[in-house]
Structure 1
Amino acid sequence: MHARRHAVIRSERRGNRTIGLAVALVVGGALAAGGVVLTGNNPTPTASSTQAPAPAQAAVGGAPEQPAGPPDCTGMVSGMDDRQKLAQRLMVGVDAADPAGAAAIVRDSQVGGIFIGGNDTALLRDDNLADVQKAADVPVAVGVDDEGGRVQRIDDLVGDLPSARAMAKKTPEQVTELARDRAQKLRDVGITWNLAPDVDVSDQPSNDVIGDRSFSDDPATVTKYALAWAEGQEQGGVYGMLKHFPGHGRSSGDSHKGEVSVPSLAELEKTDLKPYESLVGPGNPLDGRTGVMVGHLDVPGLTTDVPSSLEPATYQLLRTKYRFDGLVMTDDLGAMKAITDRFGLAASTTKALSAGADVALFSNVTQVSPLLDAAQKALDDGTIDRAGNDTAVARVLAAKGLCRR
């Protein structure tokens, strides 16, 4: 059964700028017959949204006319100014204990996404995320880490989810069903992106930085179970993210605590990068259906003065060798010492966006204006490429289901 999709038109005046974006607000599957017109931030059903659809009109030649799909991303992107575009490329942390504060962050900054960390569930109750969405000119991606085991966010609401390593003892079909059920529960509380599954190949002890977050130390097993999870998650209406490219499973430490090194790129290509080789890119099962998260890793043969998340060669590798054309985001730039010990928040933002990340992720609550100011300066001086910026924004909007590329 397909979930519903609503056509949304927003046109309003804010200060000296006019926002006019045709938006298909996706909850998953097929396009609904009716729409919703947003006036200001208050959704009002149109007549067609409360009536049964009219019979399809016959097109030339007698074939029924097909309903329109989501709009092309090019038109949506061209309707945005620089600040709006750059804001779409940020996912920032909000305090789940402060729903009003989360709405204020979105209202003031118009960021493309918010990240909910920790285990407080106030923001996920009483339809509070709907108020966050009402504060947005463009629907916001609401992201969490909900992998299972040590890394889960809604267990207090809906129950526990086993770790990846525990799930790999089940059949792939059982994992797909687990993922579908979990995604539906995430969607029910307003979450749209889950930064999972972890496709790291690892034999670390269970409680190590990756450990039982990995399905297996065998690339083929990781690939099989990551695919099972990703397919179920998609069926449940949530956008997923493979992580941590190019491979965190054999890391020397935890990037939350400091710099982390992994084996050389040549070694990673033999093992850690096999799931990406098999899952993403043209002809592979998750092509066009998932995002990828880049880790903060020092990789001999790939990185030099900066970790992989800020290194242009990392994104070139993913785009060229693995032919991935979907959304790429960084791991957390705001609370990991592998980044914060070396760069300020604004500097890491511009470095990530100019290196090739589509989205810069910050798990902690931070001031958004300085990030946007720095990104605007980088866009103006050519550090962030304008054509590349437009492409990145299109990827973000498409990953939200608002348009097609």
Structure 2
Amino acid sequence: MVGLQPGDLISQLPDQPVGGVFLAGHTTRGADELSTGIATLQRSVTRSAGVPAQVAVDQEGGYVQSLAGPDFPAIPTAVAQGEESSSDLADGTSDWAKRLVDAGITLDLAPVADVVPAGTAEENPPIGAQDRQYGSSPSAVAEAVVTVIRSMLGVKLGTTVKHFPGLGRVRANTDTSADAVDAQTSASDPALQPFRAAIAAHTTAVMISSATYPQLDPDHIAAFSAAIVTDLLRQKLHFDGLVISDDLGGAVAVSSFSPGQRAVDFVRAGGDMVLTVQVADIAPMTAALASLAARDKTFRARVDNAALHVLASKQSVGLLSCG
């Protein structure tokens, strides 16, 4: 999945076929203009890749709302959404999610399932300091996350619960630091409750964080950890949907790895769709995956499995039909 700036999407596409496009940044374009551009994009992607792309945005609310044009009213912060009644949250989510679908968006990179402990928000740059959390207890976050997921899925908008296994306790942002560490989260941690609830609610996708979790895997960031992606998420929590990386392009957390190595390490760990905001990364990432798959039967089977998860996610939002 490659990040493109809203506008002339076709001119930004890499030469290599892509499985998804992420509308990066913020735009005040209206729904008709976006819909026209996305329809043109889908025709181009379908010609090159054989199937349409997942078209994603970051539309959480508050500080994180990619689409802010006249057809996309301001969405409250997650903190404010978490204080709403379940019925009000469901109605509000259904309304703005339907607006995304009407504009051609198929996947929202939301909701946030991270639990920020009470009184620590300002010490948590990626989530708490931006009011991106639905509450300060696992149960409150889980309840809101399930409501949001069900509302989005109800209008055929795919969902991406994030940032597994949680960014609510870190003291650094993986976008700007390689030192984001959560020394507390374990496989039995109560803070995993919102992710369990999201899986039970049939979230389309789970996004993996790029922080480090020593109790789960002291040697790898989550995105490159089979212990976290395969053993914990796939096997223990029984998630069989789409696993997406957090940004593996511009994030400082992965800057010590080459683009090709980032893609290989993520897929090898159990991931399905690599997300990068750097269009130039697509060529080396694709080449590295293809090269290793050609030499390694086990890795080739893992790539095939990842492709099936991507296709299943597209089918779930109406991009593909059976038969």
TM-score, with structure 2 as normaliser: 0.88
Aligned residue number for residue 193 of structure 1? 107
TM superposition shift of 1:311:
0.9
TM superposition shift of 1:122:
5.3
CA distance in 2, matches of 1:270, 1:306: 19
TM superposition shift of 1:120:
2.8
Partner deviation per Cα, 1:301-324 (whole Å, 9 max, x = no partner): 222332111111111210111111
TM superposition shift of 1:97:
3.3
List 4+ stretches of structure 1 deviating above 6 A.
none
SS at match of 1:385: helix
Please point out which of 366, 378, 391 is paired with 2:305.
Answer: 391
Aligned residue number for residue 369 of structure 1? 283
CA distance in 2, matches of 1:392, 1:403: 19
Alignment of 1:352 with 2:302, yes or no, is: no
Task: Sort the Cα spacing of 1:99 and 1:290 in 2 relative to 1 into closer, same or farther, 3 A.
Answer: closer
TM superposition shift of 1:121:
4.8
Please point out which of 241, 246, 255 is paired with 2:160.
Answer: 241
CA distance in 2, matches of 1:383, 1:362: 26
SS at match of 1:328: strand
SS at match of 1:265: coil
Task: Sort the Cα spacing of 1:121 and 1:128 in 2 relative to 1 into closer, same or farther, 3 A.
Answer: farther
2:29/2:69 contact within 8 Å kept: no
TM superposition shift of 1:384:
6.0
1:93/1:115 contact within 8 Å kept: yes
2:146/2:197 contact within 8 Å kept: no
Aligned residue number for residue 150 of structure 1? 63
Per mean C-alpha deviation after superposition, the further-off stretch among 200-209 and 148-157 is: 200-209
Alignment of 1:159 with 2:73, yes or no, is: yes
Task: Sort the Cα spacing of 1:277 and 1:399 in 2 relative to 1 into closer, same or farther, 3 A.
Answer: same
1:93/1:366 contact within 8 Å kept: no
Alignment: residue pair count: 304
Please point out which of 87, 93, 109 is paired with 2:3.
Answer: 93
Aligned residue number for residue 205 of structure 1? 121
Q: CA RMSD in A?
A: 1.9
Alignment of 1:263 with 2:183, yes or no, is: yes
CA distance in 2, matches of 1:253, 1:269: 23
1:257/1:336 contact within 8 Å kept: yes
Gaps of 5+ in 2: none
Aligned residue number for residue 37 of structure 2? 128
Task: Sort the Cα spacing of 1:366 and 1:121 in 2 relative to 1 into closer, same or farther, 3 A.
Answer: farther
2:29/2:68 contact within 8 Å kept: no
2:245/2:266 contact within 8 Å kept: yes
2:292/2:300 contact within 8 Å kept: no
Per mean C-alpha deviation after superposition, the further-off stretch among 364-373 and 130-139 is: 364-373
Please point out which of 224, 227, 242 is paired with 1:327.
Answer: 242
Give the letter for the 1:119 counterpart: H
Give the letter for the 2:238 counterpart: R
Give the letter for the 2:2 counterpart: V
1:354/1:384 contact within 8 Å kept: no
Partner deviation per Cα, 1:85-133 (whole Å, 9 max, x = no partner): xxxxxx011122333314x43xx32200011111135596531111000
Task: Sort the Cα spacing of 1:121 and 1:363 in 2 relative to 1 into closer, same or farther, 3 A.
Answer: farther
SS at match of 1:199: coil
SS at match of 1:155: coil
SS at match of 1:304: strand
CA distance in 2, matches of 1:155, 1:261: 33
CA distance in 2, matches of 1:192, 1:145: 12
- Bigger radius of gyration: 1
SS at match of 1:376: helix
Q: From the two aligned structures, give the one with the greater helix fraction.
A: 2
